[in-house]
Amino acid sequence: MTGSAHDFPAGMVWLVGAGPGDPELLTRKAERLIGAADVIFYDALVGPGVLDLAQRGARKVSVGKRSGRHSKDQPSIDRLIVEAALAGLRVVRLKGGDPAIFGRANEELSACRASGVAVRICPGITAASAAAASVGNSLTLRGLARKLTFVTAHARSGEALDLDWHALADPDATTAIYMGKASAAQVATQLMAAGLPGKTPALMIESASLPEERIVRTRLDLLGLTVNAAASDGPALLLIGQAMGVGGDGGRDKDTSTRLLSEVLALPGPGADHVEPRTAEGASG
């Protein structure tokens, strides 16, 4: 492919951002690198349509890691990448979203450099951007959200979630919480204890950009209950802040793609929040 010879020689590694899952949200460079690779080590969150872009004969090796379900530990992944490159293969390490955002890219960069293997990063669309696009909201908004913060709510096994809650409880910010589904109740409790109002708009976006995408609209004081009731097995992102309460419906037909959260909870009541499952008609990015 054009460009592959000079920036992807044999024995080189590219950490490639696969984006949120929809192949149409890949960068053109990512598509080219995937198509030129001899071997692709891919994460669990990489969509199947992305892997279909590999050239015929390329090895595709799952090294997927989901919360609590690791097929390989990080040192093993590092070793596989380095060994493949030293064997003269063009190596793509394919990561969901952007490799440099909560992707443990530094460990793999360090392992390659320590072994004399050339390595570079191809950025990708991160989940927060894809989620906001699906919702139809801006992550920042003049007068309401002057700051955007990305945090991960995934703690090491046995460790408590240790975040600067007072810094995160900024009413003029939008906070994107990666891997926050299991910790949603704790996140909400800590943010409210730090002073963020319970009525602050909050969203859970599950499987952003994919056909099975689901959008759950709620507020901070109901976030734990809502996520516990509505979440399924897909990867999820939490978006919290005043900007999330301004407009936004992702361009969907509400008559066919919206249902009340009260149906999920089986609890009737005023002001019920919305769960928006993505329909097949709205599956394209």
**In this predicted model, what pLDDT tens digit does every residue of 226-264 receive, in sequence order?**
999 987 888 999 999 999 998 765 444 332 233 435 444
Which residue, among 160, 173, 15, has the nearest Cα to 81 in the 3D structure?
A: 15
Say which CATH number the domain at 266 has: 3.30.950.10
Averaged pLDDT for residues 213-230: 93
Residue with token string 């010879």: 5
- Has residue 42 got a pLDDT over 60? yes
Q: How many CA atoms lie within 13 A of 160 on its CB side?
A: 5
Residue of 7, 29, 60, 65 with catalytic role:
65
Cα 93 from Cα 6, distance rounded (Å): 19
- What are the backbone dihedrals phi and psi of residue 125, each rounded to the nearest 5 degrees, phi first? -75, 125
Q: Are residues 100 and 20 in the same domain?
A: yes
Q: What is the pTM of this model?
A: 0.84
**Span between the terminal Cα atoms of the chain, in Å:** 26
Boundary of a domain, candidates 122, 146, 175: 122
Boundary of a domain, candidates 106, 122, 138: 122
The 10s digit of each residue's pLDDT in 158-205 is 667 889 999 999 999 999 999 999 999 999 999 999 999 999 999 999
The 10s digit of each residue's pLDDT in 56-106 is 999 999 998 655 555 689 999 999 999 999 999 999 999 999 999 999 999
Which residue, among 164, 163, 68, 82, has the nearest Cα to 115 in the 3D structure?
A: 82
Averaged pLDDT for residues 251-279: 42
- What are the backbone dihedrals phi and psi of residue 219, each rounded to the nearest 5 degrees, phi first? -135, 165
Boundary of a domain, candidates 100, 122, 144: 122
Cα 113 from Cα 6, distance rounded (Å): 19
Quote the pLDDT of residue 230: 86
Q: In terms of pLDDT, which residue wins out, 49 or 72? A: 49
Residue of 43, 170, 221, 273 with catalytic role:
43
Q: Are residues 112 and 133 in the same domain?
A: no
The 10s digit of each residue's pLDDT in 131-165 is 999 999 999 999 889 999 999 997 666 667 889 99
Q: Are residues 49 and 12 in the same domain?
A: yes
- Label residue 44 exposed, middle or buried (CB < 10 Å: 0-12, 13-18, 19+): middle
Quote the pLDDT of residue 156: 64
72 carries an active-site annotation: no
65 carries an active-site annotation: yes
